[in-house]
Amino acid sequence: MQRIRLRYTKRGRLRFTSHRDFQRAFERALRRAEVPMAYSAGFTPHPKVSYANAAPTGTGSEAEYLEIALTESRDPERLRVLLDESMPSGLDVVEAVEARTSGLADRLTASVWELRLDGVDPAEAERAVAAFTGAGSVEVQRLTKNGMRTFDARPAVVSLENAETHPSAADRPTGQPCAILRLVVRHVTPAVRPDDVLSGLRAVADLAPPVPAAVTRLAQGLLDEETGTVTDPLAPDREADPAAPAASVGAADAAAATASA
């Protein structure tokens, strides 16, 4: 049995697809691409696909991961191309490597997020960031299936900064203020999401964007505690492959995404 690990994106309007929507689209793509999938045993066999830490509905992502099990060996890059061609535009399969190490989910310990706050002056955002990072604790509330839950969002936030150079000025609404925040968050329990951080900014600095924030996950992987950066979770598999090049486009993209985190 061969295991392939994939990185995929949620871009544009496809950021509003739920995880279940993605699962259905991906299983259809597996059938269209005639991937020799391994199936579970039992009365209702299903393809062996392991999803890892999917982004919340409504958030974009450049770094979603999953693993599939095959009954026959396939070239990872050729498989990636076939799957990408079978997926809707916006749900793009951008990287594939053969799993040569264990514990992909264990290497997803933090995420890098970008929060675009249209209508918010960067100076106001800078003031709110300083208030958040300087606080010892930031209590926020979230409605769960068991009712309203209160928790401290501050410990999970490794870094929060005003990143005015991302995205480029050409991508900003003409004549409108726009603040861009870059956020690195540990994956903890309960999970601290970007909207929890936005709630925290509202609580400590009364920062309330006039329109909903556009949230994109730029990277996720193992947190380097010394530098505060997030490393590429597929790098160990790539390095363990004797036939693989020293670096891939996907690895370069991930490194670029975390360089300023």
pLDDT score at 1: 86
Both 71 and 116 in one domain: the answer is no
Both 192 and 130 in one domain: the answer is yes
pLDDT score at 143: 84
Both 114 and 213 in one domain: the answer is yes
Burial track 111-149 (b if 16+ CB lie within 10 A, e otherwise):
bbbbbbbbebebebbebbbebbeebeebebebeeeeeee
pLDDT score at 244: 60
Domain span holding position 216: 110-229
The answer to whether residue 246 sits within a structural domain is no
Both 86 and 114 in one domain: the answer is no
pLDDT score at 147: 85
Residue 39's φ and ψ, nearest 5 degrees, are -120, 155
**Distance separating alpha carbons of residues 92 and 8, to the nearest angstrom:** 5
Number of independent structural domains in the chain: 2
Both 121 and 224 in one domain: the answer is yes
Both 47 and 124 in one domain: the answer is no
Task: Encode the chain (261 residues) as per-residue pLDDT tens digits.
Answer: 899 999 999 999 999 999 999 999 999 999 999 999 999 988 889 999 999 999 999 999 999 999 999 999 999 999 999 999 999 999 999 999 999 998 899 999 999 999 999 999 999 999 999 999 999 999 999 888 888 989 999 999 999 999 864 444 445 455 689 999 999 999 998 899 999 999 999 999 999 999 999 999 999 999 999 999 999 999 999 998 877 654 444 444 444 444 444
Model confidence, pTM: 0.86
Both 84 and 177 in one domain: the answer is no
Q: Which two tokens stand for residue 6?
A: 């994939």
pLDDT score at 145: 80
**Distance separating alpha carbons of residues 26 and 23, to the nearest angstrom:** 5
Both 123 and 58 in one domain: the answer is no
Both 195 and 94 in one domain: the answer is no
pLDDT score at 112: 97
**Distance separating alpha carbons of residues 190 and 250, to the nearest angstrom:** 30
**Distance separating alpha carbons of residues 207 and 221, to the nearest angstrom:** 29
Both 97 and 145 in one domain: the answer is no
Output the 3-class SS for 218-250: EEEEEEECCCCEEECCCHHHHHCCCCCCCCCHH
Nearest to 196 by CA among 122, 145, 138, 147: 138
